[in-house]
Amino acid sequence: CIITLSFAQDINPRKFPPNFLLGVANAATQIEGGWNEDGKSESIWDHFAHNFPEKIADKSNADIACDSYHKYKEDVALIKAMGLNHYRLSIAWTRVLPTGRTDNVNEAGVQYYKNVFKELRDNGIIPMVTLYHWDLPQILQEEMGGFMNESIADLFGDYARFCFETFGEDAKWWVTINEPKQVCQVGYGAGRYAPGIKSNGVGDYVCAKNLLLAHARAWHIYDEEFREKNQGKVAIVVDGSWAEPGSDNEADKAASERALHFGVGLYGNPVFNGDWPELVKQRVAERSKLEGFSESRLPAFTDEQIKYINGTSDYLALNHYSTMMASDSEAPIGQPSFDNDISARSWAKPEWTPTSQWWFYDLPWGLRKFLNWLKNTYNNPEIVITENGYVDNDDTLEDDRRIHYLRGYLSACLDAIYEDKVNLIGYTAWSIMDDWEWTGGYSSFLGMYKIDFKDPDIPRIKRKSAGYFTTIAHNRCLID
Ligand code: BGP
């Protein structure tokens, strides 16, 4: 990577393309703290952690978290020192619009984000802003059922317009909704995430439809009212593991396709190709019929809605952490659920080396296959990896396992760019520092900086991986 001539990347496939976004990501609930400070209201995750602590691994909450509400300057300084040119953060709906509606603006909350954007601007760091990283105002959940109600589309649209208007000069990269699969399938289907609604394969899909309408509403608002002036881009984040077929037989290959189309396709297909994936439509309809439902548990879109949603992601934003194996397994009829609709047993191959978490594998070839699948399935979109990182269950500073992971996954990105011609334009690591990991609380570690949550000063402490990522960012080249 010492070659610095302008044609460097032609002859050095370890160098990142000139405008490649290289950064780190985080989300309001997970880092900010100040959960009820200066007029912020309660979000569904505040409520969930306060009222059902037994659902959080260490019974913790995000009341203080990394205290970034007060320490944002320190965070930006770290990002700058690492040589990164891009930071993905989220706005807490509850901080700027405590009632969830635009008739009640919290000026102190708005000022906080203005300060963060100014800090980023002064340090030459490009913000990528997520509007919804899971923190619905609790009041909207209580008053209208959150994503189970179609009118969430208008409310989310109003919130999005408010943010585009208020922060649009600073932020050109927008993400509407982070990981809809987790919002709907885990929040409104399985009930393990806030708001904790268990609905057995019904709410999963009602939520998915309303969420896509909400996303599309925000995209159209940007397109019609702000694009010309601000020249930005708006996308939805899809997430998933790569589903490696358990064997070469056709049934396992079909199981892998099912896992991918139910996982990413449920949200990617309507947005990039129009409508739900065909195999998802067929499968949920068949199973619903056998289960005695009068119609499919997957609500249909009208032709108008299909048109409205199609084409509403200016790039494909992908969160990806791991690979799992998918093999065919027929789920019993009579127990409706999203997982039973997929009917693919997910597990690992015996030859894969386990990591600290049962579900987590360091298999960079999975990312490369996934990127190629997305390229082929969604007509070669621009792709930004909006999250990727190593989950540890111990908080060691000597995090060689994280370095190994980062090296492999970044290398897979470069192979995808130069060898497979995937239109990958950015990579965002999760994360700069340990944070509050939802139901994982403070016992799941993903940071390149450790946070000492027990110390009242909540210091950021450098791990070995921070040094590694800094060298890469400064050289804009993958170092072995
Ligand atoms: C994603 C979320 C992030 C972050 C991350 C952690 O699902 O968007 O907010 O929590 O997961 O990863 P993991 O689930 O691998 O611990």
Ordered by start, the domain boundaries in the chain are 15-475
Write the pLDDT tens digit of every residue in 221-257.
999 999 999 999 999 999 999 999 999 999 999 999 9
Write the pLDDT tens digit of every residue in 202-219.
999 999 999 999 999 999
Write down the pLDDT at residue 350: 87
Is the pLDDT score of 2 beyond 80? no
Is the pLDDT score of 3 beyond 60? no
| CA–CA separation, 237 and 428 (whole Å) | 12
Catalytic annotation present for 74: no
At residue 16 the predicted structure's pLDDT band, cuts being 50, 70 and 90, is very high
Gap from CA of 27 to ligand 1 centroid (Å) = 10
- Mean pLDDT to the nearest integer, 377-402: 97
* DSSP 3-state of 67: coil
Candidate from 321, 322, 393 with most ligand 1 atoms within 8 A of CB, to mutate: 321
Gap from CA of 333 to ligand 1 centroid (Å) = 31
| CA–CA separation, 106 and 117 (whole Å) | 17
Strands 460-462 and 449-451 come out as antiparallel
| Identity of the residue numbered 201 | G
Nearest atom within ligand 1 for CA of residue 182: 7
Is the predicted ipTM greater than 0.90, yes or no?
A: yes
Nearest atom within ligand 1 for CA of residue 360: 15
Nearest atom within ligand 1 for CA of residue 444: 16
Residue of 32, 42, 179, 437 with catalytic role: 179
Write down the pLDDT at residue 332: 84
At residue 327 the predicted structure's pLDDT band, cuts being 50, 70 and 90, is very high
CA trace torsion 451, 452, 455, 458 (10° rounding)? 0
Q: What is the mean pLDDT of the chain?
A: 95
Atom 6 in ligand 1: residue holding the nearest Cα = 437
Half-sphere exposure of 428 (CA within 13 A, CB side): 24
Q: Which ranges constitute the DSSP H helices of 190-265?
A: 203-221, 227-230, 250-260
Gap from CA of 285 to ligand 1 centroid (Å) = 31
- Mean pLDDT to the nearest integer, 283-302: 97
- Does the N-terminal peptide bond of residue 195 adopt cis geometry, omega within 30 degrees of 0? yes
- Mean pLDDT to the nearest integer, 81-89: 96
424-429 β-sheet, strand order: 233-235, 173-177, 126-132, 86-90, 21-25, 424-429, 383-387, 316-319, 237-239
Which residues are near ligand 1 (CB < 6 Å)? 27, 30, 178-179, 182, 239, 319, 321, 387, 391, 430, 437-438, 440, 444, 446
At residue 12 the predicted structure's pLDDT band, cuts being 50, 70 and 90, is low
| Distances in whole angstroms, Cα of residue 382 to Cα of each of 14, 169, 177, 313, 318 | 20, 23, 18, 10, 11
Candidate from 68, 319, 320 with most ligand 1 atoms within 8 A of CB, to mutate: 319
Catalytic annotation present for 387: yes
At residue 334 the predicted structure's pLDDT band, cuts being 50, 70 and 90, is confident
Write down the pLDDT at residue 358: 81
Nearest one of 256, 407, 421 to 326, comparing CA atoms? 256
Angle (nearest 5°) at CA 126 between 11 and 129:
125
Atom 12 in ligand 1: residue holding the nearest Cα = 391
Q: Of all residues in the chain, what percent carry a pLDDT higher than 70?
A: 97
Sequence-ordered list of residues with C-beta below 8 angstroms from that of 358, at least 6 positions apart, any chain: none
Candidate from 438, 443, 444, 448 with most ligand 1 atoms within 8 A of CB, to mutate: 438
At residue 331 the predicted structure's pLDDT band, cuts being 50, 70 and 90, is confident
Map tokens 């990142």 to a residue.
16
Is the pLDDT score of 4 beyond 70? no
Nearest atom within ligand 1 for CA of residue 239: 7
- Mean pLDDT to the nearest integer, 99-118: 98
- Mean pLDDT to the nearest integer, 350-361: 86
Nearest atom within ligand 1 for CA of residue 179: 8
Is the pLDDT score of 9 beyond 50? no
Write down the pLDDT at residue 391: 95
pTM for the model stands at 0.96
**Residue 77 dihedral angles phi and psi, to the nearest 5°:** -60, -40
Write down the pLDDT at residue 473: 96
| CA–CA separation, 157 and 136 (whole Å) | 13
Scored b (16 or more CB within 10 A) or e, 137-175 reads bbbbbeeebbbbbeebbebbbbbbbbbbebbbebbebbb
**Residue 361 dihedral angles phi and psi, to the nearest 5°:** -130, 140
Q: Which fold has domain 15-475?
A: TIM Barrel (3.20.20)
Contact 134, 178 (CB under 8 A): yes
Atom 4 in ligand 1: residue holding the nearest Cα = 437
Nearest one of 243, 71, 178, 182 to 440, comparing CA atoms? 182
Write down the pLDDT at residue 11: 53
